[in-house]
């Protein structure tokens, strides 16, 4: 099955989509990668979901990506005497290390690391930003605040500290166990929540050791400040607009989305736009016009993927949500303005032989109106370079490594095929032409361009281009 679009779709699995029949329907409707949210998934369920996806993958014959999303540190206040209090604007309110139930003047904050990092002037956002406090004075065990925006606050509501860098890593004890379980299950991507600094990624990379790609979720101001370093150390990024919109002013999120997408495109790293894309489809069979426009904007920007969260995980219309996102994306990519916008944001290739060849392949394919660009890759780097170019013709990635093909299913425009590596140059051309023909991306008489590395089977050695005709039997010829 080939997709009639370049942007990819991530679909989150959950109560509405945890059986094989629904997961297969989601794939058929357009899902390219499945997200398993470890905030709500235990290890037996994780292994069961991965097994279901792999069975569907074998049945369909297409590589499917799986992303395990680690929960990250969840910061919450303690409990109250009556389960809830109302904080008045201008009132004083204390957060402290006293475990006794709170009242309208204080509450326990069971996170000593926050209390030790707060400074006067820092903000605390409670209950998804509905309540805003500002620190007036603090010690290592308590923080005096003034209520700037009050309201009802109940037990164990979330706490965000946008002005404070917390001196702990992004991995909790639960995350470490979940990471080990995800790697044991052979997932393709690990998503890290609440990244603050590049060191957070380095810690995880020591554990993964290349067994899965690392996707950094950008949802804190501290991550924005060190974005370039985080991009360098990650394999992909996610614009996690939910928490980003809590920790930063909402009106800044659209601009940050563009900034992150363009920075990732420059670096050739896949980027996912996520959160509330078709939120109304949790309970309705059709989205709002604004949601359609939101998805379209991400596609016009050239994002590698767009993601569904509760819409596919817990909504009433999971398959319809994926199908709707698929239709929006295909329509945008047919829009007469689309290619011009994508071309205008294209970056100059990096000064390496492999990047120059990827750029040349794209230019030759567009100039000669070739049927497809075909890339041979073992590590996936050549495929990502081809994706970075955002060519107007289809890109077929041939890899002898199944895990590489699965991982590349997240990247823009890549149609991944698992096949043995080429034995020699003639075999390379024949195999590329046959696969292009079999995958219905090239017809007899059309030409394709192939990139590969000599000697064959050597990762990172992309150094040649070949143009070939697809013969009447699907084989290649000069």
Tell me the CA end-to-end span of the chain in Å, nearest whole number.
28
Q: Say what the pLDDT of residue 476 is.
A: 65
The pLDDT assigned to 458 comes to 67
Domain end: 310, 338, 366, which one? 338
Catalytic residues: 35, 76, 217, 275
pLDDT at position 452 is: 85
On whether residue 296 sits in a domain, the answer given is: yes
Domain co-membership, 101 together with 21: no
Number of domains into which the chain is organized: 3
User: Would you say the pTM of this structure is higher than 0.85?
Assistant: yes
Q: What angle do CA 446, 449, 450 make, to 5 degrees?
A: 135
Do 324 and 455 reside in the same domain of the chain? no
Same domain? For 248 and 363 the reply is: no
Is 448 inside a domain boundary? yes
Q: Report the CATH number at residue 215.
A: 3.20.20.60
Residues 470, 475: Cα–Cα separation, whole Å: 6
Q: Does residue 453 share a domain with residue 413?
A: yes
Q: Which two tokens stand for residue 271?
A: 């980027």
Same domain flag for 330 and 210: yes
Please give the pLDDT value at position 386.
95
- CA proximity to 303, closest of 347, 395, 239, 250: 239
In a domain, 344, yes or no: no
Domain boundary among 117, 140, 160: 160
Residue 76 DSSP symbol: B
348 in a structural domain: no
- DSSP class per residue in 436-465: HHHTTS--TT-EEEEEEESSTT-TT-EEEE
Query: Which residue bears the tokens 């150094």?
Result: 463
Residues 156 and 174 in one domain: no
Say whether both 361 and 379 belong to one domain: yes
DSSP β-bridge partners for residue 273:
239, 306
- What's the pLDDT score for residue 106? 96
Domain extent for 467: 353-477
Q: Residue 145 is part of a domain; what is its CATH number?
A: 2.40.33.10
User: Quick one: 329 and 375 in the same domain?
Assistant: no
pLDDT for 353 equals 87
Q: What is the pLDDT of residue 110?
A: 92
- For residues 223 and 205, membership in a common domain is answered with yes
Asked whether residue 3 is domain-assigned, the answer is no
Q: 441 phi and psi, to 5 degrees?
A: -110, -5
Q: What does the pLDDT read at residue 457?
A: 64
CA distance 368 to 448: 10
Write down the pLDDT at residue 460. 63
Which domain CATH number covers 451? 3.40.1380.20
Same domain for 238 and 112: no
| Same domain, yes or no: 199 and 328 | yes
The CA-CA-CA angle for residues 195, 186, 415, to 5°, reads 85
CB-based contact 166:117 (threshold 8 Å): yes
In which residue ranges of the chain is pLDDT below 50? Answer: none
Element (H, E) at 187: none
In a domain, 59, yes or no: yes
Q: Residue 78: inside a domain, yes or no?
A: no
274 and 413 together in one domain? no
In-domain check, residue 347: no
């Amino acid at each position: 099955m080939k997709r009639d679009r370049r942007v990819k779709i991530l679909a989150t699995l959950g109560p509405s989509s945890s059986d094989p029949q629904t997961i297969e329907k989601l794939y058929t409707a357009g899902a390219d990668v499945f997200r398993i949210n470890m905030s709500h998934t235990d290890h037996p369920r994780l292994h069961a979901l991965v097994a279901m996806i792999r069975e569907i993958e074998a049945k369909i014959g297409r590589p499917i990506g799986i992303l395990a999303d680690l929960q990250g540190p969840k910061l919450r206040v303690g409990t109250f005497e009556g389960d809830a209090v109302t904080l008045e604007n201008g009132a004083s309110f204390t957060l402290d290390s006293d475990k006794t139930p709170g009242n309208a003047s204080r509450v326990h904050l069971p996170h000593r690391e926050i209390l030790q990092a707060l400074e006067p002037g820092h903000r605390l956002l409670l209950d998804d930003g509905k309540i805003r406090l500002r620190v007036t004075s603090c010690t290592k065990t308590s923080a005096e605040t003034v209520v700037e925006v009050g309201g009802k606050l109940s037990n164990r509501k979330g706490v965000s500290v946008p002005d404070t860098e917390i001196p702990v890593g992004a991995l909790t004890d639960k995350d470490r166990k979940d990471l080990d379980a995800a790697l044991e299950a052979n997932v393709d991507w690990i998503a890290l929540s609440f990244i603050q600094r590049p060191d957070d990624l380095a810690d995880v990379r020591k554990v993964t050791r290349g067994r899965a790609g690392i996707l950094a979720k950008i949802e804190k101001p501290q991550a924005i400040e060190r974005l370039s370093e985080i991009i360098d150390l990650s394999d992909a990024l996610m614009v996690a607009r939910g928490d980003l919109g809590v920790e930063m002013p909402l009106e800044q999120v659209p601009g940050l989305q563009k900034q992150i997408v363009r920075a990732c495109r420059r670096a050739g790293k896949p980027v996912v736009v996520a959160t509330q894309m078709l939120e109304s489809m949790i309970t309705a069979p059709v989205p709002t016009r604004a949601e359609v426009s939101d998805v379209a904007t991400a596609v016009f920007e050239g994002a590698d993927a767009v993601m569904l969260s509760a819409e596919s995980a817990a909504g009433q219309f999971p398959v319809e949500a994926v199908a709707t996102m698929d239709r929006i994306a295909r329509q945008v990519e047919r829009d007469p303005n689309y290619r011009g916008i994508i071309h205008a944001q294209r970056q100059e290739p990096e000064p390496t032989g492999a990047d120059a060849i990827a750029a040349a392949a794209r230019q030759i394919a567009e100039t000669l109106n070739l049927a497809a660009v075909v890339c041979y890759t073992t590590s996936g780097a050549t495929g990502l370079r081809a994706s970075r170019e955002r060519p107007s013709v289809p890109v077929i990635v041939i890899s002898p490594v199944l895990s590489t093909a699965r991982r590349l299913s997240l990247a823009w425009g890549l149609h991944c095929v698992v096949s043995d590596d080429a034995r020699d140059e003639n075999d390379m051309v024949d195999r590329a032409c046959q696969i292009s023909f079999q995958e219905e991306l090239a017809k007899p008489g059309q030409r394709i361009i192939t990139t590969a590395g000599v000697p064959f089977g050597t990762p990172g050695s992309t150094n040649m281009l070949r143009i070939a005709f697809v013969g009447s039997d699907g084989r290649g010829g000069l």
